[in-house]
Structures are given as C-alpha cells and as structure tokens.
Structure 1
C-alpha cells in the first residue's frame, strides 16, 4: 500500500537548475574547464564530487581531490549570488494536501545548507525526511540516496513513489528498486525513458498526485 512519496528537489520542487548551470559553468571556467548548460543538465542530480569528476573527465582533465572543497565553496558562492529560485507553481499547495495522507521525503544531490534553506523558505514543515548530497557516500546515479530515504521513512520499497526530473535521478531510483515518475523539466522526455511513467509537465504531475490522494491510482 502506498504510504510515502519521495521528491527530487531541483527541477521538481524548485526551479533552480539554470542558476546551478550558470554557477557550474563559471567556476569550471575559472579552473580551465569549459562546459555547456547541456553538460550540467546531463549530470543533474549527482552530488557535487561526482559531478566535478565527470565534468573534469569530459574536458580531458584529471580531477585532483584536494581541489574539491575550494571549487565547491566557490560554486556555492556564485549560485547564491545569482539565484532567484522559486517553487514551481502549485507545488506547495499540492504537497500540503498530500501531507495529510502520506509521509513525504526529499532526496537531492545539493548540499545540506541549500536544501534546508529552500525547505524553510518554500515548504516549511512539509517533509518528514531529507537526504542531501552530503548525507551519502555514493550519490545519484547510485542507489544509496533513495535506499537511505526508504530506510529513514521505515517503509518497504513497494510503499513509495519517486518523482524525478533528471536521468541520473531516475537511474538512482530504479537501481534502488523503486517506482519512478519522470518529469522532463529541463530535458527531452526520451532521456527519462528508464522511468516507469513520464508526465509531461508540473501541471500534469500535480493532477496525477491529486488523483492519488483521491484514490484514483493504485
């Protein structure tokens, strides 16, 4: 029986990826690695360490672990200086309604301070469980983030649905053995083909979730 819903944050709850992409491109350029917005969207959902390793590899550069903290802090600094992040229209009301029946969780590759800031700003008191990129050793696309959320929720795998918008996030959920809905916020729907169901946009997602609340989906 469905008891819990697990949401990715960036691109599902808040419209933030354009600012993440801009910050990553700027900090990458500062260390001599040139990347495009498409490169960033391709690795969306990965924690910062994995993302940096991938970006350096794509640019044909060796990633030096001692650079990690400096680059990460610079990226966070840039992000917060430019970001004008907003929650997607209707999501707060939808989640408030869902909270009456389901336990809710967030699983994201973003750092804990940013996650907590957005949750406090846009969804105060809504989520029972939050898993940030710093809470796991192997982030998305590995299954650990979603397995940790299931464990923290204290549920069986068949009691939850994951809502994701990025290929690495979908891969993570499916490797964890979970049912996953994809919402192609920033990518082509075809890129989310591993998801069990792809819903075209947030309006359709919210209708689906309200239908679940009313018992119209199994």
Structure 2
C-alpha cells in the first residue's frame, strides 16, 4: 500500500497536541458542578463528538431527558472557558518527527478535526511550521456530521483528491478510529490516553501503537 500512499490524515487533539488531559478535566469538573457525572476516562470515549452530543448523552443517562438548547450552550460555554484557562497544550512527543518523515517521503499531511476553534490555524502553523495547508484541513465548520460518522474523513479525501487506498488515518479516539474505518481508510490508532487498547481495536483500528513516538520510530518499517 505504501507505494500507493499519497496523504496522511491526522486527528488533532491527542495526536498532534497533548490536549486531551485538559479537555477531560474540563468536562469532568463542569459536569460535576451541575450535579452530573462524566469521568475523565469517559471523556476520552466521547472525544470527536460535538459538545452538544456529549452533553445530551449525560442528560439522557442521568436525568432521563435531552438537554435544552440553553443548557447545552451554557454548559459548553463553561467547559470552553475552563479549558482555555489551562496552559496551552504542547505538541505530542513524536508528532514533529513523524511529520518530517512524512514530508521527506513526498506525502501530504492533512488535519481532520472535530474542533472549531478559530486559533487552530495559527497554533498548527506555530507548532508545526510549513506542514499543513489551510485548504486541505477539515474542521467542525466543514461537516454536518461529526465523528464517528465517516463524513470528516470522506471530506478529507474529497479535498485532497484522494481515493481511500491512497491515505492513512492517525487517530487516538475510538470515535475517530470508527470514522476512519467507516470511510474505508487504513486507520492507525495511537493510545495516548488512559483507554484500554482493546477499545481502539474494537473500533476498527488496523494497527495500534502506544504513543506517537512509537509510531514515528516504526514508520519506516510499516508494511501498509
């Protein structure tokens, strides 16, 4: 497959940036302040969903109803404010080295994220200079359905003019792995959080690594 490979599609949080500990902590604390339970580990399971979908799952489970639009907006705003109060997440160890290898092979790196943060482009360019092109990014603004729906990765293929067998996905979240798998793309999982590795395999990962560093070190030997 590597002979055919043209692009590598990267999730952002938990793959390029070590930001998931902050997201999970913010979700946990805000839900607790509303008398609701969302553990830090469960937050990793919901990574890739829209904020509204995550809030609704908790409301249905614990209150037996959907959250109102006002509740969704209020809770998500609180979560965003708390998340933004934490130190800026550093780039994931191994990510820069892997991107350099990919670029040296003439492959195109692309970002496929459920994030809609407006500072995204600036952060990516600051931390990974010259690696990503704006027109080849897929964010929350580009899609109607978030992960685990395959639309984000299908959109990436469309933007890149790619067939599914000309790309690989790198994901850390079960929902992201499921989205890449459903899009028909070879999907590599990196378990950068606290999840049982089997969860990522069950979601459809074709390969599994314990870290981005491990994937970077093994990249040249991969038979994909």
TM-score, reference length from structure 1: 0.89
- Once the two structures are superposed, the pairs formed by residues 18-57 of structure 1 within 5 Å of their partners are 18-57=21-60
Compared CA separation, residues 122 and 197, structure 1 to 2 (3 A): same
Quote how far apart the aligned CAs of 1:65 are.
2.4
CA RMSD in angstroms comes to 1.9
1:4 equivalent in alignment to 2:11: no
Match of 2:92 in 1: 88
Give aligned pairs, total: 214
- Of 112, 115, 128, the residue aligned with 2:117 is 112
**1:180 maps to what in 2?**
187
**1:134–1:16 CA distance, 2 compared to 1 (3 A):** same
8 A Cα contact 1:48 1:133, kept in partner: no
SS of the aligned residue for 2:110 comes to: strand
- Contact 2:172/2:190, CA 8 A, preserved across alignment: yes
Q: Are 2:210 and 1:207 equivalent residues in the alignment? A: no
CA contact (8 A) 1:115 1:132 kept: no
CA contact (8 A) 2:125 2:131 kept: no
Q: 1:121 aligns with which of 100, 105, 126?
A: 126
Q: Give the secondary structure class of the aligned counterpart of 2:141.
A: helix
- Which of 183, 199, 206 is residue 191 of structure 1 equivalent to? 199
Cα distance in 2, alignment partners of residues 50 and 177 from structure 1: 24
Kept after mapping to 2: 8 A contact 1:106/1:127:
yes
Q: Tell me whether 114-123 or 137-146 shows the greater mean CA deviation.
A: 114-123
Q: Please give the alpha-carbon distance, in whole angstroms, between the structure 2 residues aligned to 1:12 and 1:191.
A: 17
- Whole-Å separation in 1 of the counterparts to 2:51 and 2:132: 23
Compute the displacement of 1:157 (Å).
0.8
